[in-house]
């Protein structure tokens, strides 16, 4: 079919009446509508820039959230965010990487189902090579992001408290008050005090009180993957604000490739497909990739040309390489008393006390989990008994569990990477992403250290330890980072300090794929801060024309 339109009507065969033909005079084309793309689109549109956003997945209506929640909690029901199938196919090598377990393609991206914890990186994370002789340094430091971190916290509506003695410097309090410690947090507190471990609150991107036309948290407990109340931030908020400012957002249009000018110096168009298979060319003056740590790299590789035979923006060979994630470490068991687990669907207490330790170098943060053990709702729905017998069964399985989780840093390794699978194709005939991923000895040592601390806490609490997630059984936190890393040396990186690609003057990349190192903090607040900073740099470049 024609790359300029073709058959199928303006909506691409969806039947919803939405015009999916290209915008005729876009200044900026953003690919992806997760937090990175939504924040960039809103900031630029709010300044009067003509912005079009291309989103691969659908627009999920908020009115359907309760139904999605019900699908989630009923045994055997499908993924509430419609992930899977040929569209989302992938392959993996080394340690198995379950890519589709925690990503969403749709307006709002993975914030549709994230847990919502938002911490700043520490100062050490920006200078790992200088401080410890490992990894690499960022081309920016904490001070360069500090004001943007504050902007991001206001954008999200972060609930937090100034009670973390290990946190990096702040210029102002959080926008919203922190959620109070849970009942099980209070049980941990006494044991941690005896062990001289400092507990403090968790910054959460969910409303502890009404904020930004969103309701306060109502305690549904299904935060991941569905918040029916809207208290948890999703990027849909800034998509709506971008649209109100004049941006156009087109859903169900996966970008197939980027096309450049004859010289190979600037991008001319993003070629996207509508559901009926029709291809269109969206032209613009500037292009922003914001489709995640895997898909950003994949799209650059899919766009290989005679001038860029190894993929766009890949003169360094770094596109797809240095793939990182955070590793989960945890331990749990039971107490001989009620713990009221699963009353809160998110973490309210954590500790960064061990984060900046230099041995091992990899950072780790510990989380006091509020959702250990089975959910009584899911247990009841899947039970074969009824009445008093079911109550007795639930009494045996629910309410006495405790657990301590944690995230552990993974340092960049060029052999951990995203490539194109030569044999497997998606629903448009493109090679699917191939994930090559493994853990190094240093990371495994950091996981074992986290387990030692977790066991000490549980033993001090008097819990019987029933399970441990250590190096052999660990899995990812689904924070895909590093595949289009930033740096000052074009021979070693993909984008510069402003997240503009070294090789193409009008191509920018935002999201965790630009992280040179990942620390052990959940990445979304840093994604947001970097995206706001990039939007300002892009805006300045538009003004200079």
Domain residue ranges of the chain, discontinuous segments joined by +: 1-114+236-324+413-435+480-545, 159-231+327-408+440-473
Higher-scoring residue by pLDDT: 90, 359: 90
Topology of the domain comprising 159-231+327-408+440-473: Cholesterol Oxidase; domain 2 (3.30.410)
The answer to which of 156-170, 393-407, 480-494, 528-542 has the lowest mean pLDDT is: 393-407
The confidence score (pLDDT) of residue 8 equals: 52
The confidence score (pLDDT) of residue 378 equals: 57
Query: In the beta sheet, which residues pair with residue 257?
Result: 271
The confidence score (pLDDT) of residue 395 equals: 59
Residue 240 CA: distances (Å) to CA of 59, 104, 204, 245, 406: 11, 18, 21, 9, 34
CB 317 within 8 A of CB 40: no
Closest by CA position to 86, among listed 423, 434, 422, 428? 428
How does 65-85 read in b/e, with b if 16+ C-beta sit within 10 Å? beebbebbbeeeeebbbbbee
pLDDT of 149 > 70? The answer is: yes
Most confident of 221-235, 265-279, 531-545: 265-279
Closest by CA position to 132, among listed 356, 400, 317? 356
The answer to which of 53-57, 224-228, 242-246, 523-527 has the lowest mean pLDDT is: 224-228
User: Residue 337 burial (CB < 10 Å; 0-12/13-18/19+)?
Assistant: exposed
Checking phi first, is residue 74 left (phi over 0); if not, alpha (psi -120 to 50) or beta? beta
Closest by CA position to 297, among listed 270, 323, 268? 323
Closest by CA position to 417, among listed 493, 502, 319? 319
pLDDT band at 7 (very low <50, low <70, confident <90, very high): very low
% pLDDT > 70, the chain: 93
The confidence score (pLDDT) of residue 180 equals: 96
Mean pLDDT of 74-82: 76
The answer to which of 308-312, 356-360, 416-420 has the lowest mean pLDDT is: 356-360
Q: Give me the half-sphere count of Cα atoms (radius 13 Å) on the Cβ side of residue 411.
A: 20
Give the three-class secondary structure for 385: coil
The confidence score (pLDDT) of residue 376 equals: 57
The confidence score (pLDDT) of residue 543 equals: 85
CB 169 within 8 A of CB 177: no
Neighbours of 279 (CB within 10 A): 18
479 noted as active-site residue: yes
Give the three-class secondary structure for 424: strand
Query: What element of type H or E holds 432?
Result: strand 431-437
- The strand ranges marked E within 439-506 are 464-469
The confidence score (pLDDT) of residue 223 equals: 82
Q: From CA 473, how far away is CA 480, in angstroms rounded? A: 19
Tokens of 159: 């609930």
* pLDDT, mean over the chain: 93
Closest by CA position to 281, among listed 106, 86, 503, 52? 52
The confidence score (pLDDT) of residue 298 equals: 98
The confidence score (pLDDT) of residue 6 equals: 44
Query: In the beta sheet, which residues pair with residue 418?
Result: 435
Q: From CA 320, how far away is CA 505, in angstroms rounded? A: 20
Bond from prior residue into 360 cis (ω within 30 degrees of 0) = yes
Q: What pairing do the DSSP bridges indicate for beta strands 51-54 and 28-31?
A: parallel
Question: Using alpha carbons only, what angle is made at residue 54 by residues 52 and 59, rounded to the nearest 5 degrees?
Answer: 110
Tokens of 92: 């993996």
Neighbours of 34 (CB within 10 A): 31
> Please, what CATH class does the domain formed by 1-114+236-324+413-435+480-545 belong to?
alpha beta
pLDDT band at 357 (very low <50, low <70, confident <90, very high): confident
CB 380 within 8 A of CB 387: no
Q: From CA 55, how far away is CA 3, in angstroms rounded? A: 18
End-to-end CA distance of the chain: 36
- pLDDT tens-digit profile of 486-501? 999 999 999 999 999 9
Q: Which of 72, 280, 401, 479 is catalytic?
A: 479
The confidence score (pLDDT) of residue 128 equals: 96
Mean pLDDT of 308-331: 98
pLDDT of 382 > 70? The answer is: no
- pLDDT tens-digit profile of 87-145? 999 999 989 999 998 899 999 999 999 999 999 999 999 999 999 999 999 999 999 99
Tokens of 248: 């156009």
pLDDT of 10 > 90? The answer is: yes
* Alpha carbon of residue 115 to chain centroid: 10
Give the three-class secondary structure for 150: helix
Q: From CA 91, how far away is CA 96, in angstroms rounded? A: 9
The confidence score (pLDDT) of residue 427 equals: 95
Q: From CA 54, how far away is CA 253, in angstroms rounded? A: 6
State pTM to two decimals. 0.95
CB 534 within 8 A of CB 510: yes
Q: From CA 511, how far away is CA 528, in angstroms rounded? A: 8
- The strand ranges marked E within 65-197 are 91-94, 159-160, 176-177
pLDDT band at 281 (very low <50, low <70, confident <90, very high): very high
């Amino acid at each position: 079919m024609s790359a300029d339109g073709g058959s199928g009507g303006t909506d691409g065969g969806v039947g919803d009446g939405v015009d999916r033909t290209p915008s005729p005079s876009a200044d900026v084309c953003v690919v992806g509508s997760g937090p990175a793309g939504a924040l960039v689109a809103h900031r630029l549109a709010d300044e009067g820039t003509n912005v079009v956003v291309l989103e691969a997945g659908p627009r999920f209506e908020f009115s359907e959230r309760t139904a999605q929640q019900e699908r989630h909690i009923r045994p055997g029901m499908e993924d509430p965010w419609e992930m899977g199938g040929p569209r989302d196919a992938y392959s993996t090598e080394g340690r198995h990487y379950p890519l589709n377990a925690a990503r969403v393609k749709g307006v709002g991206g993975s914030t549709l189902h994230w847990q919502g914890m938002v911490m700043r990186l520490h100062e050490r994370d920006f200078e790992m090579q200088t401080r410890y002789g490992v990894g690499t340094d960022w081309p920016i430091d904490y001070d360069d992001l500090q004001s943007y971190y504050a902007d991001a916290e206001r954008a999200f509506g972060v609930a937090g408290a100034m009670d973390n003695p290990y946190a990096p410097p702040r210029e102002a309090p959080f926008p919203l008050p922190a959620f109070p410690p849970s009942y099980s947090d209070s049980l941990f507190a006494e044991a941690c005090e005896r062990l001289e471990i400092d507990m403090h609150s968790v910054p959460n991107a969910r409303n502890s009180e009404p904020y930004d036309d969103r309701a306060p948290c109502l305690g549904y407990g299904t935060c991941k993957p569905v918040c029916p109340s809207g208290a948890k931030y999703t990027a849909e908020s800034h998509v709506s604000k971008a649209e109100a400012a004049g941006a156009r957002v087109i859903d169900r249009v996966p970008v197939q490739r980027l096309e450049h000018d004859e010289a190979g110096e600037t991008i001319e168009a993003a070629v996207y497909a509508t559901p009926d298979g029709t291809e269109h060319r969206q032209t613009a003056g500037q292009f922003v990739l914001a489709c995640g740590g895997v898909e950003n790299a994949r799209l650059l590789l899919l766009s290989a040309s005679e001038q860029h035979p190894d993929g766009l923006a890949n003169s360094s060979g770094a596109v797809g390489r240095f793939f990182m994630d955070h590793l989960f470490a945890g331990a749990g068991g039971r107490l001989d008393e009620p713990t009221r687990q699963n009353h809160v669907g998110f973490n309210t207490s954590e500790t960064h006390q061990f984060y900046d330790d230099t041995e091992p170098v990899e950072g780790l943060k510990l989380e006091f989990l509020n959702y250990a053990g089975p959910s009584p709702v899911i247990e009841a729905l899947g039970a074969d008994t009824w009445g008093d017998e079911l109550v007795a069964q639930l009494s045996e399985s629910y309410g006495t569990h405790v657990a301590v989780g944690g995230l552990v840093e993974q340092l960049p390794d060029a052999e951990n990477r995203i490539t194109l699978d030569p044999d497997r194709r998606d629903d448009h005939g493109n090679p699917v992403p191939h994930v090559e991923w493994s853990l190094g000895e240093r990371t495994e040592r950091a996981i074992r250290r986290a387990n030692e601390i977790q066991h000490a806490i549980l033993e001090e609490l008097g819990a019987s330890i029933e399970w441990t997630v250590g190096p052999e059984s660990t899995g990812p936190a689904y924070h895909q980072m590093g595949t289009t890393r930033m740096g000052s040396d074009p021979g070693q990186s993909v984008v510069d300090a402003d997240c503009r690609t070294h090789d193409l003057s009008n191509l920018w990349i935002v999201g965790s794929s630009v992280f040179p190192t990942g620390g052990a903090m959940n990445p979304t607040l840093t994604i947001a801060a970097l995206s706001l900073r990039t939007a300002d740099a892009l805006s300045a470049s538009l003004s200079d024309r």
